Amino acid sequence: MKELKVKSSVFRHNELIPRKYTCDGEDVNPPLTIEDIPEGTQSLALIIDDPDAPMGTWDHWVVWNIPPSSREIRENSVPGVEGINDFRKHSYGGPCPPGGTHRYFFKVYALDATLTLGANSRKKDLEKAMQGHILAKGELIGRYSRR
């Protein structure tokens, strides 16, 4: 599988996510750029989750049918169709760990199709719909701890 490059202008891989993008700040999504999108990509999907949450992986943002031509997800934007996150909202929910430092995985998928999913779909529904359609994947990991 090909690899996408996922970057942010506000934090580097494995570095701290600025407070602005968390529940302690403005709680808006950070900007992301996506490079090396393969030919034949019909849409992009984005999943942001926290595998360090005490009750198991916590889903912060689930988005699909992002146009591949954009190559950029702007700060505080709605780049595609938003599913339901573990905050039970159709939106970005920033890092908000109950304690300690948590890792946040910004996973982007290049797909050979646009997806037909209901608005109340969750991460598991998106992952199922993507099966057999992933051309490339990339991820950026950010960290955050509340003080």
Where residue 129 sits, what CATH number does that domain have? Answer: 3.90.280.10
pLDDT at 147 over 80: no
pLDDT at 77 over 90: yes
Q: Quote the number of domains for the chain.
A: 1
| pLDDT number for residue 146 | 83
Under 8 Å between Cβ of 117 and 126? yes
| pLDDT tens digits for range 1-58 | 899 999 999 999 999 999 999 999 999 999 999 999 999 999 999 999 999 999 899 9
Phi and psi of 84, rounded to 5°? -95, 130
pTM: 0.96
| pLDDT number for residue 119 | 87
| pLDDT tens digits for range 96-130 | 999 899 999 999 999 999 999 998 999 999 999 99
d(CA 7, CA 73): 10
Q: Which two tokens stand for residue 66?
A: 């992002």
Phi and psi of 123, rounded to 5°? -55, -45
pLDDT at 70 over 90: no
Domain range holding 16?
2-145
